[in-house]
Amino acid sequence: MPKFLTGNIIKIKNETPTTKRFWVKINSEEIINFQAGQFVTMELPIHEKRLKRMRSYSIANAPDKNNILEFCIVYLENGLATSYLFNVATIGTELKFKYPAGVFILPQKIEHDLIFICTGTGVAPFRSMIHFIYNNNISHKKIHLIFGTRKKENILYQKEFENLEKEHPNFKYTIVLSREEHWEGYKGYVHQVYEKEYKDISDEKRFYLCGWSMMVDEGIERLKNIGYQENQIRFELYG
C-alpha cells in the first residue's frame, strides 16, 4: 500500500464569507475506504521543509465508496495552507495526502444518546457521522448536534441539518451564536446548551466535542464538573 494518495479538486463552493467546501476525487481504481469522523493529512506546496507542508482536515462527507472526499475549510489569516487552498488551488489542482486516519469515530454499536458539540468547521466529522448513520439505517438512539459560531452568516450546513431534524424525530439541531444581536435562538457559547439540557447526569449519554482547543478543553472540564465520566467524553482538537 503506498503511503500517499493523490486526488484532484473537482468542485469548490463558497460556503460562508470565510469558509469554502472542496470536493476531491481520489486518483485510484481501488475504493479507498474511511470511517465517518476520520481525517486526511495533506502535503501542500507551501514550505521547503516537509513537516511544515503538512495539514490535517476532517472529511465532511459520509463514506459512500465513490472515492470523493469533501472538506470544509475556514480561511486563517496568515495561514500558509489556507492561503494556498483559497487563493492558488483551483478546479483540477492535484493534492497529495495520506490515507484517511483517526480514532474520532462512531462505536461499532451505538447504544447511547450522542451529543455532538462543535464550533465552526469542527462540524465536519459530525456531518460525516450523521449522514453515515442515516444513509445506512444504522440502529441508534437520540442524536443532538450543538453548533456554535459567531454570526448567522457563519452557520455551516444549516438547511441540511434543519431538513434532517424534520425528517428524523430522534435528531435535534441547536445553533448558538456569540455575536449576533437579532437571533431568537441561543446566544453565547455552546457550553450553556448542554449545561442546561443535560444537567441531569445519565449513563445513557455520550459527548463528542470537536473544534479549537480552547472550546474543547473548556467543554471537557465543564462536563466533568456536571458529573460526567471520562468514558462518556470523546474529543478532536483543531489547533
Is the same domain home to 73 and 136?
no
103 lies in a domain? no
Q: Is residue 106 part of a domain?
A: no
Domain of 85 in residue numbering reads as 4-98
Across the chain, mean pLDDT equals: 96
User: What whole-number distance in Å separates Cα of residue 28 and Cα of residue 175?
Assistant: 38
Q: Which of 106, 57, 136, 66 is nearest to 206 (CA)?
A: 106
Burial (CB < 10 A; 0-12, 13-18, 19+), residue 180, is middle
- On whether both 91 and 21 belong to a single domain, the answer is yes
**Whole-structure pTM value:** 0.96
Q: Are residues 34 and 92 in the same domain?
A: yes
- State whether 90 and 119 are in the same domain: no
Q: Are 69 and 26 in contact (CB under 8 A)?
A: yes
Q: What is the CATH number of the domain that holds 173?
A: 3.40.50.80
The residues with which 113 forms a beta bridge, in sequence order, are 205
- State pLDDT tens for residues 162-204: 999 999 999 999 999 999 988 999 999 999 999 999 999 999 9
Measured N-to-C along each axis, helices 124-135 and 158-167 cross at an angle, to the nearest 10 degrees, of 30
Q: Tell which of 63, 98, 133 closes a domain.
A: 98
Write the pLDDT tens digit of every residue in 11-47. 999 999 999 999 999 999 999 999 999 999 999 999 9
Kindly state whether residue 104 falls inside one of the protein's structural domains: no
Domain with 76 in it: what CATH number? 2.40.30.10
Residue 105 lies in a domain: no
CB-CB contact of 37 with 105 (8 Å):
yes
- Classify residue 108: in a domain, yes or no: no
Q: Based on the structure, what is the number of domains in the chain?
A: 2
CA 10 to chain centre: 21
Do 8 and 76 fall into the same domain?
yes
3-state SS class at 5: strand
